[in-house]
Amino acid sequence: MRMFALVAVILSLATVSEARPRRHGSTKKRVAVDTPARREITSTKREPTVRNRDRSIGAPWSGRLTAPARLPRGEGYVIRRPARAFGTRDTVDHVHDAVTNTLEAFPKVHVLAIGDLSAESGGQITEHHSHQSGRDADLGLFYKTKPAGYPASFARATEANLDAAATWKLVWELAKTSTEDGGAQIMFLDYNVQGIIYRWAKGHDVSAKRLDRVFQYPNGRDSATGVVRHFPNHDNHVHVRFKCRDRDTSCR
């Protein structure tokens, strides 16, 4: 009797087992769906939506900024006022790329001073008429020897003290973005300082075509040629203004 009972139990369990629906795939495979790599891929796919929220609204001298990007701290440069290191994503990316590319090309130069971009929400800030809509940035220059007080403050450039090679690289990295959506619109730099850089570049085989694309010099301070134009009180830094992007319909 005991033997018959045992056989009956075994048959019963087998029947129950066959009645349960079979699961497709192992437990290990199901868990692998939720791996860090998978979450990273998902996050990367969502990133463009987050990046595209930033907006430049209005004009550089009468505007504001929403959902801004912030210029990150890094080696080789000093952000003088971090509360004013905000801009559109394209502005921040272009500035960061220009600076880091220059530092990589000239690893022995002194630290670079980075001045104001915009406040987090844009709007008027002290010491500036513009810098209100996240499209302006002030960058210091490079010198043969780091000037006293630099990078806490900018230093006037002269033929004797300017590192024309490193400064040309920085200016070119910014100016060459002028063909891109959100790239450089105009750059302000003292006419005489333009001349120092121009003469160095011409003497080091930079083509006349490229120099004419970049500089107003030597065509006169009132010339409307080149991305880089003369503006008073810009002999110690370069001011770059980036274009309105196609998607910033309220940008002026």
The per-residue pLDDT for range 199-240, each reduced to its tens digit, is 999 999 999 999 999 999 999 999 999 999 999 999 999 999
Confidence category of residue 1, pLDDT binned at 50, 70, 90: very low
177-186: average pLDDT:
97
Q: Give CA angle at 36 (31, 40), nearest 5°.
A: 130
Ordered by start, the domain boundaries in the chain are 49-242
List for the chain the helix, strand, coil content (%; round to 5).
40, 15, 45
35-41: average pLDDT:
27
Phi and psi at 75, nearest 5°, equal -75, 140
DSSP alpha helix (H) spans, 55-207: 89-105, 164-175, 191-203
* Half-sphere exposure (Cβ direction) of 54: Cα atoms closer than 13 Å: 23
Assign domain 49-242 to its CATH architecture.
Answer: 2-Layer Sandwich (3.30)
This prediction's pTM: 0.80
